[in-house]
Amino acid sequence: MPLTTAVETIRDEPLTIGGRTFQSRLMVGTGKYPDMDTMVHAIEASGAEVVTVAVRRVNLDRSKESSVLHFLDPKKIFLLANTAGCYTAADAIRYARLAREAGFNDFVKLEVIGDEETLLPDVAGLLEAAKVLVPEGFKVLAYTNEDLVTALRLEDAGCAAVMPLASPIGSGLGLLNPFSVRTIKRRLHVPVIVDAGVGTASDACVTMEQGVDGILMNTAIAAAQDPVAMAHAMRLATIAGRAAFLAGRMQRREVAMPSSPTKGMLD
Amino acid sequence: MDVVINGEHKHIRGGTLLEVLEELELDPRAVVVEHNRKIVRRPALSEVTVATGDAIELVHFVGGG
């Protein structure tokens, strides 16, 4: 179904990160899909331009089938390599350097995980890694928690974007702390992209309504009953949330106020 | 010669890193090579010779979030 993008229908600026400009504010991952065909169609339905990938060892027996690049066209999409699975700054730096050597761009979605159960970020390790990678010319998009001070420090370290979580990776719990995410957006100058935790379209919409610059998701699409249909829903929700933010919502009030005239009632 | 590739002990003919990739039937354009913890860029693959006991990591992009 053809749909106009937010940029076409409302007054909005494209999203610029690290000198690159994108029309879509929805970014998607490539993990956990039931099969590659579904993944390709879901990415297409999402309208995403930025697509994340992970760095892993080549399977020495079946290398040709296992690389995600056999199914994605790097000319059409922007590959954003992550450092998922890294638990130390040193590991994340190593993975980032390997990813850049693949030769597509110098962007990295920096993850340094601090806890196995929650996959919450190790913010000290994150800052340490960012401070090494930024001077090396990396455009660092830092996956962090929704803590303002950490976000400020990451910005000071030269990160190209800060990516606070909505809720833990793969949890589908939605935006748990809208206040903190809004505060981060208000205080930072670099783009704020909410990464991880959305479960369904309303979560994406509410997240975008906070005024953040974009949203990144993987499991919410890949683990849906119909990933392609959910990708489509996420596209709409991201646009809707952005449009609502730009429109400016009405004031909340604790008491009702009639929409219909109180005058002109019959005796 | 015996080397460690992607954490596995392997017996290979050896030679340069480019020759090792050929022996493993891997496309040098599709993998990134780390040799003894040091990244070797594609143009230099034919200039680095592998020695017994070397650790080689061959990585690429897979699905991830």
pLDDT band at A252 (very low <50, low <70, confident <90, very high): very high
Contact B64 A98 (CB under 8 A): no
| Distant-in-sequence, close-in-space partners of A114: CB < 8 Å, separation ≥ 6 | A87, A120, A121, A122, A123, A125
Residues 1-60 of B with CB under 8 A from A: 5-8, 24-27, 30-32, 34, 39, 41-42, 57-60
For residues A66-82, average pLDDT = 90
DSSP per-residue codes, A145-178: -S-HHHHHHHHHTT-SEEEE-SSSTT-----S-H
* Tens of pLDDT, residues A199-249: 999 999 999 999 999 999 999 999 999 999 999 999 999 999 999 999 999
C-alpha to C-alpha distance for A127 and A92, rounded to whole angstroms: 11
C-alpha to C-alpha distance for A220 and A234, rounded to whole angstroms: 9
Distance from the Cα of A187 to chain B's closest Cα (Å) equals: 26
Considering only CB atoms, A55 lies closest to which of B8, B41, B59, namely B59
| Distant-in-sequence, close-in-space partners of A53: CB < 8 Å, separation ≥ 6 | A30, A68, A69, A72, A79, A80, A81, A82, B61, B62, B63, B64
For residue B2, the cross-strand partners are: B11
CATH match of A6-58+66-247 with 2.60.120.10: no
Task: Give all domains of chain B, ordered by start, each with its CATH number.
Answer: 2-59 (3.10.20.30)
A165 touches chain B (CB under 8 A): no
A109 is an active site residue: yes
ipTM here: 0.94
Estimate the share of chain B in helix, then strand, then coil, as percent rounded to the nearest 5: 15, 40, 45
Chain B hits for A227, Cβ within 8 Å: none
| Distant-in-sequence, close-in-space partners of A253: CB < 8 Å, separation ≥ 6 | none
For residues B32-53, average pLDDT = 96
**Could you count the other beta carbons within 10 Å of the beta carbon of residue A63?**
19
Is residue A1 scored above 50 in pLDDT?
Answer: no
